[in-house]
Every structure is written in structure tokens, then in C-alpha cells.
Structure 1
Amino acid sequence: MLQAIRTQVMWNRLISVVEEQAQTLLRTAFGSVAREAGDLSAGVYDTQGRMLAQAVTGTPGHVNTMAVAVGHFLRRYPLDKLSPGDVLVTNDPWLGTGHLFDFVVVTPVFRGNKPVAVFASTCHTIDVGGRGFTADAASVYEEGVCIPHLKLARAGVLNEDVLAIVQANSRNPVEARGDILSLVSSNEVGARRLLDMLVEFGLQDIAGLAEHILTQSARAAREAIARLPDGEWRAEMRLDGYEQPVNLVATLRKKGDHLVVDYAGSSRASARGINSPKCYTDAYSVFGLKCLIAPDVPNNAASLAPFEVRAEPGSIVDPQRPSPVTARHVIGQMLPDLMFGCLEQALEGRVPAESAGSIWVLAMSRDRQQGQPFNVMSVGLGGTGARPTKDGLSTTAFPSGVGGIPVEVTEAQSPLVFWHKEYLPGSGGAGQWRGGVAQRIEIGARDGAAFECSAATFDRRDNAARGRSSGNAGTPGLVQVFSADGEASVYTSKGSIHVPAGGRLRVDLPGGGGFGPAAQRDPQRQARDVRDGLVVPDSLS
């Protein structure tokens, strides 16, 4: 019994180590999307490259892709060929986290000359060159600079050549360099805390603890899957797409303690950058499944292993190199709701309605020909789907979990001004439980000059989040551009939006779907929603 308690304490301590690693990154990152929105992740791995623990801070897309990414590093640089002070880096979309904007940094940990663990971290860097954050590119070669698996540091000495390449290709070279060094620092903090832990508990390494974590997690995950009835369930989802609508099709097959997701029948890869590399598809598919099947099982290599994801090479959920992938979360972050659609057939009445899904990234910029140049990023959040016993969450990013960037930060970094950032009344789908309310954001330029905004990630403008169990759909998104004299035009593409001199950009984010018949809504809840300005009377039915 005492040994079991000691092991649990060490496991909890390991989680606190990676959380401190993530908090270090959060506090030292230069880019606002990492520093303010928390678009990052951190984790610790054993010497075989198996993820043992992840930080609470971070996104599923980053964590679950990194679970596989570290193995790619170790195949290129085996641990027995590395030395204390070595640090590795890549931003390869297919071998990292899905697009060029995410750098993954891997740091082996040595006790003396013996490797005992590996730390990895990643975050979104605001600019890596190319066309910038847009889905307009026709190949990954146009999307920015790709750093293959390289040594970022050798025996503690930074490889300035790698950093020079990144900075030379970035419109925000200071932020790009700073974010990468922040990743290095976060891993260093994790490594120091782990070595302290080994001394405190009298351990030579974490091999025994690793086996315990992985064994227990595998058992718990398989037991959770086994509790589902055996069967096969199919769901479809239609998205706006870029050139044409996208159809996502998933078949979920469960037998015993093994579960397979098959995306056969989904649309072929797009010619533009909304494709989701297989690593990213796997990450969010499994996240969606674990949310309902095994939410309390720790997320690590062993608990992810019983979930198998299959996709046709060349499809939009498994694009082949050199397909463009910058806005891969347009597809990837919709997959948990698709998994929910499958599981609803096995868990009838216990599955939330659809959410807004992919966040809307407002990547705004201006070149010198238009006026004061800038390149900044903000985040728009829609509503989540209503739950079987609760309303949906308003202006909340599901499944990514990222936060918003304070308007003051973006305004301090650019000549932009946010005229409105407010709840969008009536955007949540009506139901016994109301869908989460979205937000309206309206932006102009203080200096009156024109600027650009990428619409790469603006989906659900034609295909709203669907309700569940007779609940209503949320409202679709809407993008409007206002001229200097106030004349509005609706923007429907995923290309670059030109906001004219003296004009404004207004985006209405999609709302979450409702759950259950609207007629069964508690009248007191209805009255409170109206009082709080979350709904308008004609949206209650």
C-alpha cells in the first residue's frame, strides 16, 4: 500500500513538472498567440520516446501530435548519439504538429552521461515567411520556411545558423527567435525539475515509473472502450470548404477493447491550405473519442494506443506532401464533433450538440505601401454545443481550448482599434439546453489606412453547428466589410479580406447547437437569458 501511494505521488509530481514547463513557456513566449491565448503544449517522454505526461496548459492538437513527433526525432537522432546540452528542432507539418507555424523543440535529459527522459514543447509562432497565415498557397513550399530535424544546440551551444534562417524568413523575426528560445527554456526548466525529483525520491531514472504509468493507463483506456457496446456507427459533416464544400465522413467500429475510426468517403485534399495532415487528424479524432469514452484516463502514449485512425492518402484528412496545410485546423478541429456524431448512436442522449468548432484566426497585416506596416493576430471564439444537462459555453474554444488575445495587446502592437467585442445575442441554438453564445468583433484602423485580414479559418458560414436531440442549430458565421461611408458588403471567400481606408471589418462568430426541444426549456432560464442579453425573444423557438 505504501509503495502504491509513493508511486501515485511521483506520478502527480511528474504532472506538476510538465505544468511548470508549460507555464515557463507561457510566461516567456514572445508571440501573443502563445503568450496570451495559450496556443502551446509541453510534455515528458521516456527514453523510448513514449509520452508519459502532458501539461494541463495547452491544446490537444499540439499534445497529441507531439506524442508521435518525438519518435520521429529519435529515429533521426538516437539518444545514444546525443550529448548533454543537445537540443533538437523542427516545424515539418507531417513530422511535427500539422503546419509550419508550430516549432517543436526536443531536449534529452541526462543524469551524468545517462539519458533518463526527453522533454518536448511546441507553440504557434506568428510568422514563418511565405504567404503568411493564409489558405491561399497552392503548396507547402509557398507557406513558409520548413526546418527539418536539426540540432538547435550542440552541447549547450546554440546553432545560430538555424535561428538566422528562421529570422531571415519571418516578418516578425524578433518574435520568431524569442518563441523558439522560449521553447528551449521551458524544456530546460522541465529537465531541472525532473532531476530534482529523481534526487528527492532516490531514483536513478524514471523507467520504473514510466512502466507503471503506461501499464495503468493502457488498462484504464481499454476498460473504458470495452464498456461501449460492440458495433459500427457512421456520421457525416458538411463544411464550407474553400473552392467547394467539404464532406467529412467517419465510420466508427468498436469490438472488445479496440476502436477504429475510418474516414473513407471523405473529400479529397483541397488545392488550398485547409488540409489536415494525418498527425493532426489523429490528434483531434482521438481527443474527441476520449472526451466521451475515457475523459478521466491520463493522456499519454498508452491511453492513446487503443484508438486507431485510418484515412485515405490524398484525402483532406490525410493530404500528402507538398499539399498546403496552413489552416489545417479548419478541418482538424471539426473532427471531435464528427466523433460525437458517431458516438451519439451508441450513447443516445449523452452526447453534446455540435460546437462552432475551429477557431477563427484574425491574422491582420499591412505592408509599407499602405501605411504603417504591422503583422498581428487575434482570435475569435464561437459557442460550444449544449450538453445533455447544461447549456453550452459561450465564446469558448472547443476543442482547441485556446483563449482570446486581449484587445489591448493587439492594439498596442498595431494601429488597429477594436470597436466592438461583445456577445452576439441569439447565436446559441435554442433547446431545452441552449447552445453557447458566440461573439461579434468589429475592427478598424486608428490611422484610417487600409489593412488586410486572412479569412482562411472562417468556416461554418454556410453550415451551422447542428443541434442534438431536437435542439436547434446555432447561427452561422457572418463576415462583413464596411466602407468609410458605412456601406456593408458580405465577404464569403476564405481568401484575404481587404478592409478599405476608413473602413471596418465585422465578424459574427458561429453559435453552438442546442440540445433537446426548445419547448422544454425552463421558463426561468429563458427569462434570465433575455434579461442577460444572451437571446432575443424571437430566437426562443
Structure 2
Amino acid sequence: MARSLDPILTKILWNRLISIVDEAATGLVRTSYSIVVRDYHDYCVGIFDARGNMLAHSTKTAPGFIAMMPNAMRHFMQVYPVETLREGDVIATNDPWIATGHLLDLTVAAPIFLDGTLVGFTVCVVHHLDIGGRMASIESRDMYEEGLKIPILKLYEAGQPNETLLSVIRANVRMSPKVLGDINAQMAANSIVIAGVRKMIREYDFADLEALADTITRLAGQSMRARLRALPNGIYRNEVRLPPVGALTEPMVIRVAVEIADESVIVDYEGSSPEVEAAVNCTLPFATSYTAYGIKVMVDPTVPNNAGCLEPITVRAPRGSIISCNPPAPTWGRTVIAHNLPEALFGALAPAMPGQVIAACGSTPLVAMYFNGRKHDGEEFLSIISHCGGFGASADRDGYGTLCFPYNTAAIPVEVTEADTCLVYQRKEFAADTAGPGRHRGGVGQEVVFRVADGSHAPPSPVASTLRGSPRNPNSTYPAFGRDGGGAGRGATLTLNGNPVPQGGRQQLRPGDEVCLLLPGGGGHGDPLTRDADAVRADVLAGLVTRAGAQADYGVLLEGAEATIDHAATSILRRSRSESLQTAAN
């Protein structure tokens, strides 16, 4: 490298890398064919140096891809060593045990050459609408029912497409134009990264990316280690019991031990449930991503992610468990497990970080529904919709309403879904009294109601669907937990024509059928009886809390059409409640 890297230049170039991948992500969205990429933003674009070290990833990304991409990159380089690669090569796989944990995500990597020398790699991961097999469902009994598995192969070789592989994909997926269109969008994203990296290297007269990579990964690692040193050493434990899904009859257990040892952290999932017959098992690379994400957002959230952030984190899990299942275990709905890992870590580390850990979120895990059918004019559709519950409260503020966590995807607009499918929304609104009460209340949940069009816009045949709601329920083993005396979030129902629906199973929807989804609020933080009475009144006036909820949860009595606070009655009510709680505690 011809130029020295002073702090100012380092910051400029670090931001330049992020701007390159963000530009590529924009190109990916604008050239994609499916709502999964265009509206849902379930993707990631990354830059690696020639040694396979991750330097940056797109700002909009699913956290489950962050720590998994380096693992995939290592496998790519083992199968296709650097010296065997040529300009225009593209390597691809969707192997769940190498990449993102289920077959629907395709990971593609391309080498970056400059004047004949390989200087880095670009990686693009996209969740595709379909990969064949059984339509998305937790009913799969093994991976082979879930679609086409693509081992590590060259999708392009020296710029020429692998027509055999593309033909196999085309023959095995539903709506192949959209799937292949999104693959082409991944190619476009990688091309943008290649052009951007080449331009940057030439502009600053570098030989390669290695000195820059060493500098930014060292700085990121130093920051993470410094934050870990600030925590008290020790082993912190937690256990989360997830309700049974599908044909399962027993709860699933996530057991975690987090060891803080000076500048490093070891996360061990020993004791977690063995892998199950439902398609919710998690592979270790995917579990590692959400574990690293959970540690990162608690300990050092502001430094951009790269290989340096990941170095101090070690993740262990017993083989054959729901955290690290063995092939060919079914994994389609692995988010049921993986999305709960950050909150399992939050619960473990809360004693080591008093006042710094948020309450549980009502949107965990992902609530996603898949639909395949035909519109009234015969046009086929394959679509996904997702809605979120409330965010957990923190020690200094209320939780946000209907915000996703931890998967970081976008809300697909109602108008997009209605244009793309034969579904018609009836209602989508905040649900009062769903937020967990606390000094700072949780984010509010929502009620979503939609139906299959009937009459002149009725589909010509039933719509195949996979319906999945939230397991969060204050009466179950798995509520949206409060923190430091805060209450759990409320809500969590899924019905079809008024009848409860099994989670994640395949359903046939007919014209006029109505689905109702109630998503819970986030957990509250702190004693609800210490919440500012004016804040409670404001929530009542906004329709987020009912008057009955204000009295029952917060000890605030409101009177008249203007919801005037009866301060004397409120003071008496709160004092009485506090005394009763103290008596019960003793």
C-alpha cells in the first residue's frame, strides 16, 4: 500500500467501504423481482479482503447473515482456492450448514480482481421466494422436503453462466422468473461492489485491501475488547422455554451460559433441547450470527461490524441440538430458535449490565406468512407477509410500537400485498393494553385482519398458506418478559374464521376466509406504579391504553370526557398497591 493510514484517512476509507456495499444493496433492491428483496429487505451485501476477512456489510441487512458470511467465505475458499479463481467467477451455495441455516437463502460470492491480481471478494445473500420442495412449513420432516440443496458450485465461470445449474434451479422452483430475476439482481449487486472497490483502490493508489483490512479490524476488535473488559468477569446463565409448535408436545429449552473472561466472551448452549422433528432447528453458523449480534448490540453497538468485532466471541453448542442440528434435520423455520438467542443472552447478562438491557420484544420471533395461489385473472402469485409486535422498554424510554427485533427487516406495505396477491386487508391498527406496563411501558402491539377476496375478485382455486403467529403470551411459558419489575407484553392470537390456527402448518384458504392476527406488545421496564400519571393519561388519549388498563396496571384513575387525573384517588390507589406488593414479597 503506497499511502500510510492515519486516523482521518482510516475513517474516510472505512465509511467508503460501507457506502460501496450500501450502493450495491440499493442496486439489488432496484433490480430485484420479488417483494422479499424489494420491500422486505431480507438480504445482505458484504466486502472481504483476499484472505477472506469481512471488512463491511450493508447497513440494511438481516443480522442472521453477519457472522454467517465469514463462515461461508471460508468454505468457498476451501473448495475454490484463490489461485484457481478467475475474473468473472461466481461461487454459490444454499447449504444450511455452511450458509444461512435454511435452503431459501442463496449466498453468492465473486472475486475482485485489479489488473490481474485478486484483491478481495464480494458476497451477496438473498432470501428467495422459493427453492422448491414443500412450500414453507414447519411440517417438513427433513431437509430434503424443503427444496433444492445447492452445494458449493460455480454459478458463473470466467463470466459465463453455468447453464446446467441454472436449468436445474429453473426446473425445481415455483415462479422461476422471479427466482432467477433475484439471482440476477445478486449478480448486479456484486458487480457494483467490484466496481466500487476497484475505483477506491485506484483513487488512493493502493496495492490491495490488506493494510486497510488490518487497521479497521484491529480497531473494531480493540473497541469490543475494551467494552468486554468493563464487564465483571463471571459466568452468567439463563434459560428460555419455548412453547411446542407443530406436532411437538413438549416445550423447547434454550439454555445458555455466558462467560465473560477479561477481553473475551464464550457463549455455551450446553443443555439446550435436542433437535426436534418440527422444521425449527437451527444450524451453528446461523446461531452464531444471532449470538454475535446479541453480544454486539449489548456491549459495543456503535462500531460498524467487521471481522474484528467477531474475534473476541466464541460460540459453542452441542451437536444434534436445536442450536446446532445435524443434517438432514429440517430447518425452514429456524428463526423460531435463532431469533430468541439475543433475548436469552439479554436475560443472562442483565445482572452484569444493570439498567442497560431492554425488556423482551413482542415481535420475537419473526411472524411470517407465506401464500401461493392465483388471483382472479389466473395470474399465479407466491408471496410473504410479516408484521411485528411491540419493542421492549428500556430504563430510560418507552418501547417502540410494532418494530421488528432482532431480524431487522422492513414492513411490507399493505398496498403491495394487496396488489401482489388476492388478499384484502380489513384492519391494521395498534391494539390497546398490549404494551407491558412499567415505569417505561413496552411498545404497543397490533391487530391485523385480512381476508381472501371473494365475489368477482375471488381466486379460482384455494390459496395454499403457511400461517404463523406469535407464541408470546403472558399466560404461556413464553411471555414478552418485563425487566426490573416491569410487566410482560400482552396479546398473541392467530385465528382463521374465528378459530385458533396451529402454528406454522399448511392451510387452504378459500374466498371470504378471514385471518386475524394479534401481536403482543413489548415488556415494560421498572415498576408500573412509578410511571408518570400524565404519561398514562397521554396513552389513554392516544388509544394505546384503556381507562380500565390505566387503573389496573398503573393505579391511575381518570375521570370525565377529558380523562382528568384524580390525583388524590390515584395517590391512595398506588400506595395501597405498593403496600400489597411489599406484603406479598415478604
CA distance in 2, matches of 1:395, 1:12: 31
Q: Which position in structure 1 is the counterpart of 2:528?
A: 518
CA distance in 1, matches of 2:508, 2:117: 56
Match of 2:531, as an amino acid? Answer: R
> Which residue, 240, 243, 246 being the options, matches 2:243?
240
| Superimposed CA distance per residue, residues 323-375 of structure 1 (whole angstroms, 9 cap, x where no aligned partner) | 00001111101111111001101112221001121121111223799x87532
Displacement of 1:318 after TM fit? Answer: 0.6
Gaps of 5+ in 1: 483-487
Contact 1:430 1:513 in 2 (8 A): yes
Q: Does 1:404 align with 2:411?
A: yes
Contact 2:487 2:525 in 1 (8 A): yes
SS in 1 for 2:59: coil
Percent identity between the aligned chains?
34
Displacement of 1:392 after TM fit? Answer: 0.9
Give the alignment of 1:500-515 within 5 angstroms.
500-515=510-525
Match of 1:207, as an amino acid? Answer: E
CA distance in 2, matches of 1:126, 1:150: 21
CA distance in 1, matches of 2:488, 2:243: 16
Q: Does 1:57 align with 2:60?
A: yes
Gaps of 5+ in 2: 554-586
Match of 1:437, as an amino acid? Answer: V
Larger-Rg structure = 2
CA distance in 2, matches of 1:323, 1:95: 14
Contact 1:274 1:456 in 2 (8 A): no
Give the alignment of 1:71-150 within 5 angstroms.
71-150=74-153
Q: Which position in structure 2 is the counterpart of 1:354?
A: 360
| Superimposed CA distance per residue, residues 154-207 of structure 1 (whole angstroms, 9 cap, x where no aligned partner) | 111111222221221111211110111111110100110110111111112111
> Which residue, 349, 353, 365 being the options, matches 2:372?
365
CA distance in 2, matches of 1:525, 1:511: 17
CA distance in 1, matches of 2:275, 2:296: 26
SS in 2 for 1:443: strand
Contact 2:144 2:328 in 1 (8 A): yes
Count of residues in correspondence between the two structures: 536
SS in 2 for 1:409: helix
Q: Does 1:386 align with 2:361?
A: no
| Superimposed CA distance per residue, residues 257-316 of structure 1 (whole angstroms, 9 cap, x where no aligned partner) | 111111111111110111111111111111111111111232111211111111111110
Match of 1:460, as an amino acid? Answer: R
Match of 1:258, as an amino acid? Answer: S
CA distance in 1, matches of 2:394, 2:421: 39
Q: Does 1:210 align with 2:239?
A: no
Displacement of 1:419 after TM fit? Answer: 1.2
Displacement of 1:18 after TM fit? Answer: 1.2
Contact 1:241 1:459 in 2 (8 A): no
Q: Which position in structure 2 is the counterpart of 1:284?
A: 290
Contact 1:396 1:403 in 2 (8 A): no
Displacement of 1:456 after TM fit? Answer: 4.8
CA distance in 1, matches of 2:228, 2:417: 44
Give the alignment of 1:471-490 within 5 angstroms.
471-482=486-497, 488-490=498-500
Distance 1:174 1:263, change over 3 A: same
Q: Which position in structure 2 is the counterpart of 1:297?
A: 303
Contact 1:288 1:335 in 2 (8 A): yes
Length-normalised TM-score, structure 1: 0.96
Between stretches 98-107 and 214-223, larger displacement belongs to: 214-223
CA distance in 2, matches of 1:48, 1:538: 61
Match of 1:453, as an amino acid? Answer: S
SS in 2 for 1:43: strand
CA distance in 2, matches of 1:458, 1:150: 37
Q: Which position in structure 2 is the counterpart of 1:485?
A: none
Contact 2:469 2:494 in 1 (8 A): no
Contact 1:355 1:383 in 2 (8 A): yes
Q: Does 1:69 align with 2:72?
A: yes
Between stretches 529-538 and 39-48, larger displacement belongs to: 529-538
CA distance in 2, matches of 1:88, 1:231: 42
CA distance in 1, matches of 2:384, 2:13: 39
Q: Which position in structure 1 is the counterpart of 2:467?
A: 455
Contact 2:217 2:308 in 1 (8 A): yes
Displacement of 1:460 after TM fit? Answer: 2.4
CA distance in 2, matches of 1:2, 1:346: 37
> Which residue, 438, 442, 448 being the options, matches 2:445?
438
Distance 1:232 1:171, change over 3 A: same
Q: Which position in structure 2 is the counterpart of 1:470?
A: 485
Displacement of 1:453 after TM fit? Answer: 2.6
Q: Does 1:533 align with 2:533?
A: no
SS in 2 for 1:345: helix
CA distance in 1, matches of 2:427, 2:215: 51
Displacement of 1:499 after TM fit? Answer: 3.3
